[in-house]
A and B are shown apart, each in its own frame.
Chain A
Amino acid sequence: MTPALRLEVLSAGDLDAIHAETLQVLEETGVFVEDDEALDIFADGGASIDRETGMVRIPGEVVEAAIAGCPQDDDGPVRFCNFDEGVMYVDPRSGERRDPTKADAGDAARLVDALRNIDSYGAAVRPTDVPAATAAVHGCEAALLNTSKGVGAEATSGWEVRVCAELGACIAGSLDALRDDAVVGFGTCPVSPLQLPRDATEVIVECARLGLSDTILSMAMAGASAPVTLAGALVAHNAEVLSGITLAQLTERGAPVVYGSSTTAMDLRYAAASVGSPEMALIGAAAAQIARRYKLPSCIAGA
Chain B
Amino acid sequence: MGHEKTLTALAAALAGASYVYGAGMTESGVTFDPAVLVMDDEWIAMIRHFLGGINVNRETLGGADIAAVGPFGDFLSLPSTYAHMREQSQPRIMDRRVREEWESDGATDMYARARVRACEIIESHEREPLDEEARRRMRAVVERADKERGS
Contacts and interface: CB of A to CB of B under 8 A. Distances in A.
Interface stretch (B37-45, B66-74, B76-84): B37-45
Interface stretch (A19-27, A48-56, A115-123, A225-233): A115-123
A131 B19 contact: no
Nearest to B150: A131
A193 interface: no
Given A110-B122, A166-B141, A147 B34 contact: no
Give 4 closest A-B pairs by Cβ, nearest first: A276-B4, A86-B32, A83-B25, A7-B14
A124 B20 contact: no
B40 to A, nearest CB: 5
Contact of A302 (B5, B26, B119): B5
Nearest to B51: A1
Contact of B24 (A73, A82, A114, A258): A82
B20 A303 contact: yes
B30 A108 contact: no
B110 interface: no
A1 B16 CA distance: 9
20 contacts: A5-B14, A5-B51, A80-B19, A81-B21, A81-B22, A81-B23, A82-B22, A89-B32, A111-B24, A115-B38, A116-B41, A130-B150, A131-B146, A137-B142, A146-B127, A276-B5, A281-B12, A284-B8, A288-B12, A302-B11
A12 interface: no
Given A113-B125, A302-B13, A95 B22 contact: no
Contacts of A75: 16
B32 A83 contact: yes
Nearest to B24: A82
